Structure 1
Amino acid sequence: MNTVPPRISLITVNYNQAPFIQQTIESVLSQGYPNLEYIVIDGGSTDGSVDIIQKYESQLAYWVSEPDEGQYHAINKGFERASGEVLGWINSDDFLLPGCLGALGSIFQSLPDVQWLTSRMLVICSEYGVLQAHSDAGMSGDAYCENVRRGSNFIQQEQTFWRRSLFDKAVGGQIPTRHSHAADMDLWFHFFQHSDCHVVDIPLACLRQRADQRWRHAAGREQDRVLREEHLCDHGLVTQLRRLVYSAGLQNAPVLRSLLRRTLGYSAQKIVMDADGLLSGDPPSWHVNEYKFL
């Protein structure tokens, strides 16, 4: 197997986020990943962000500060310059968690069939500095598109990464921009048409939530609209039965849980570290387990 880890290209976009961007940049660079291409696209900030970015100029593959047409236009500008095999973006008020890039490199290197992945564990940092962790039941294209489990099964962008080959095939290497707040959800729908999403049980990144993030409410409304617009999954009898199960809370009944999971559960793929990787000093190896969840 090739011993050189895959090149990971990460994009950070920023506009007037000086209180947070330094933590974001350091969370990426401090990981010491040996084949990293880190690109920062600033939208012409006037709050001191540029001074912070310039401090790290020697460690960045590219950076620019100039007016743009919004967040997703800026992200696409970054991807146009990216040359990595593995891609992702991290907003300038979120941050990667320790070990993220090393895990990504070894997973994508040892599991060539994995086209994209996300963490099953959502880590949130509140405006008060409090960390919270929430583990979802699982991830699958059917569950995502049906949206039966309201309020869950959403794919967080800061902890989701994919192969360039999937990005090129699904969307021509450009994030769709028809939605001003939910372009990431639109991207996931395109990905699901080519490959299911794998989940890994290690936390990869942290989402920062603040009271002044009004766009999060708009994003939720756009997400619902995208779900209504896309008709990628069957909404027949099985879907209706799942809705009935969730509305009645039957999935939580111990006597029914196993039966319902076998008969109505979603099929999913989980990435698991091989036991030897926990005991040796060598880079970890991974395998994929199939399972069902409700």
Structure 2
Amino acid sequence: MEFTIIIPVLNAGAKIRRTLESLLSQTALASGAARLTCLVVDGGSTDDTLDHVRAFDDPRIAILSQKDSGMYEALARGLARAGGDVTGYISAGEAFDRHAFAVICEVLTRYPDIHWLTGQEVTRNEQGQIIGCRLPHPFRRSFFDCGMYGTRLTVLQQESTLWRSGLNRHFDLERLAACTLAGDYFLWRSLARHQELYVIDTHIGSFTVEPDQLSKQTPGAYRRELRALRRRPALWERLHALIYRQYVKRTRPGKTAARMLRYDPAKQQWLLRKP
């Protein structure tokens, strides 16, 4: 199974080494269960970012470097080149769990009707220490469409989310390139229009909480852009989201939650539990 992972980057310096190392150390690559194409889409870095990338001297890593207007224009350029079986993207400095590709290979091979999946919501501090780990409840397509995820409900963790590459045809790359902060939401809404999102109860990737993150520099800007991209929710959808938020805060997904995969030690398989 071939994975295409896109890394949009600008002046990331030594941060990108950790991300590339997490990709190249995947156990599924060593076993032959997976192949990798990594697209480093650079926006014209003026530091040593590309020196770090070239130092790997690995044919699986391709560099696309030119000036751009920001992260989502870079991501759009990467998606235009993405092929293979599975697509995902990750920021420089973040990392995948070393077994992430192995889990995804097994799940997508066993369940051909699953096209889009995510894992546990794992967060780290600047030192790389895990400071939070939460199993999300199954996501609802209607809540993506009307923009509840990212406003009234938690955002979908991008670092833990991948999809079958055939879905890339549904992205409006020009509109994605015009995004400045909420391009992730634009992707999720586009995917949700065509497929259900499944959750795997495992660590796929993680998100690092840092004080200088782009989304924190202008408070409220992410939500404003998201609202411009979403379908305006009906009153009943707003009320439903408020009730659902309280339910999510107080509960953990049950063993038979819809669209949830867990590992069965007795069968030694990742299994989709029927609700």
Partner letter of residue 101 of structure 1?
F
Confirm or deny that 1:272 pairs with 2:262.
yes
CA distance in 1 between counterparts of 2:70 and 2:241 reads: 39
Change over 3 Å in CA distance of 1:151–1:124 after alignment to 2: farther
Partner letter of residue 186 of structure 2?
D
Figure out how many residues of one structure are paired with residues of the other and give that number.
264
Classify the secondary structure of the residue corresponding to 1:272: strand
1:1-294 maps to which residues of 2 (within 5 A)? 6-32=1-27, 33=29, 34-119=34-119, 121-135=120-134, 136-144=136-144, 145=146, 147=148, 152-168=153-169, 170-171=170-171, 176-216=176-216, 218=218, 221-227=221-227, 229-231=229-231, 235-236=235-236, 240=239, 243=242, 268-276=258-266, 278=268, 285-291=269-275
CA distance in 1 between counterparts of 2:54 and 2:249 reads: 52
1:269, distance to aligned residue in structure 2 (A): 1.0
Partner letter of residue 156 of structure 1?
Q
Query: What do residues 161-181 of structure 1 show as CA deviations (whole Å, max 9, x unaligned)?
Result: 01122221x225777234211
Classify the secondary structure of the residue corresponding to 1:139: coil
1:153, distance to aligned residue in structure 2 (A): 3.1
| Contact 2:147 2:226 (8 Å CA) reproduced | no
Partner letter of residue 163 of structure 1?
R
CA distance in 2 between counterparts of 1:241 and 1:72 reads: 31
| Contact 1:79 1:174 (8 Å CA) reproduced | no
Query: What do residues 68-95 of structure 1 show as CA deviations (whole Å, max 9, x unaligned)?
Result: 2321121222222222111001111211
CA distance in 2 between counterparts of 1:51 and 1:287 reads: 43
Change over 3 Å in CA distance of 1:118–1:252 after alignment to 2: closer
Classify the secondary structure of the residue corresponding to 1:165: helix
CA distance in 2 between counterparts of 1:95 and 1:12 reads: 11
Classify the secondary structure of the residue corresponding to 1:199: strand
Change over 3 Å in CA distance of 1:216–1:289 after alignment to 2: farther
Change over 3 Å in CA distance of 1:241–1:77 after alignment to 2: closer
Partner letter of residue 14 of structure 1?
V
| Contact 1:16 1:45 (8 Å CA) reproduced | yes
CA distance in 2 between counterparts of 1:250 and 1:14 reads: 37
1:230, distance to aligned residue in structure 2 (A): 2.2
Could you tell me the TM-score, scaled by structure 1's length? 0.77
Change over 3 Å in CA distance of 1:56–1:206 after alignment to 2: same
CA distance in 2 between counterparts of 1:133 and 1:36 reads: 29
Change over 3 Å in CA distance of 1:46–1:199 after alignment to 2: same
Larger relative contact order (Cα-Cα within 8 Å, sequence gap ≥ 6): 2
**Percentage of pairs with the same residue:** 22
Classify the secondary structure of the residue corresponding to 1:132: strand
| Contact 1:185 1:223 (8 Å CA) reproduced | no
CA distance in 1 between counterparts of 2:234 and 2:51 reads: 51
Query: What do residues 96-135 of structure 1 show as CA deviations (whole Å, max 9, x unaligned)?
Result: 112111111211121111111111x211121243312231
| Contact 1:111 1:286 (8 Å CA) reproduced | no
Classify the secondary structure of the residue corresponding to 2:168: helix
Consecutive unaligned residues in structure 2, runs of 5 or more: none
Query: What do residues 171-223 of structure 1 show as CA deviations (whole Å, max 9, x unaligned)?
Result: 25777234211111011111111112111110111112211224345485333
| Contact 2:137 2:248 (8 Å CA) reproduced | no
Could you tell me the TM-score, scaled by structure 2's length? 0.82
| Contact 2:82 2:165 (8 Å CA) reproduced | no
What is residue 264 of structure 1 aligned with on the other side? none
